[in-house]
Amino acid sequence: MTGNDHFCEVRFEDVRVPVANLVGELNGSFRQVMRQMEHERGGIDRLVSNRRLYEDCRRLADTSDPLVRQEVAAIETGYRIGRLLVLRETLGQAPRQFSAATKTFCTELEQRVAAFCARVLGAEATLAEPELALRVSRNVCYAPAYTIMGGTSQILRNILGERTLGLPREPR
């Protein structure tokens, strides 16, 4: 929807890689990718990618409206909780596979921020400073991808249940 093409999949078949160029263990690509996903899911970028946009829109919000104030409080609280989750990941204090929780929480917060920004500008977006209106519209279009890339929120909740909490697998 945004014209951005960095979110894609590349597949190679029957590729020969010299042993000197092997990353990780032979035939261990799935484990290697899962370790990389663990790092990506728990990263700070999940939390701060929309922060500037949020701050730009927040200053335009009608804070005399109690519903707007509640939403601002919820988003600000979300940023603080998300920061603590990311810090636990970074410091190695989180349990195994906990990045699934960090990613789920932070990307759902990113979607909430996008929705807040769209509501704040509303139809006035066309009258707002052009650069801000463009950033909000791109963010709203891109927001659904947050909870898809790196594993959907539903899959991550299953990972948390099964691998972190030790719950039984879902029946098939």
**Domain at 19-164: CATH code:** 1.20.140.10
Q: How many CB atoms lie within 10 A of CB 124?
A: 10
Residue-range domain boundaries for the chain: 19-164
Residue 7 contacts residue 145 (beta carbons within 8 Å): yes
Q: What is the pLDDT of residues 52-89, one digit of tens each?
A: 889 989 998 999 999 999 999 999 999 999 999 988 88
Instruction: For residue 83, give every residue at least 6 positions away whose Cβ sits within 8 Å of its Cβ, in sequence order, or none.
Output: 47
Instruction: For residue 49, give every residue at least 6 positions away whose Cβ sits within 8 Å of its Cβ, in sequence order, or none.
Output: 110
Confidence of residue 6 (pLDDT cuts 50, 70, 90): low
Whole-angstrom distance, CA of residue 169 vs CA of residue 160: 11
For residue 28, which amino acid is it? G
Q: Determine what percent of the chain is predicted with pLDDT higher than 70.
A: 88
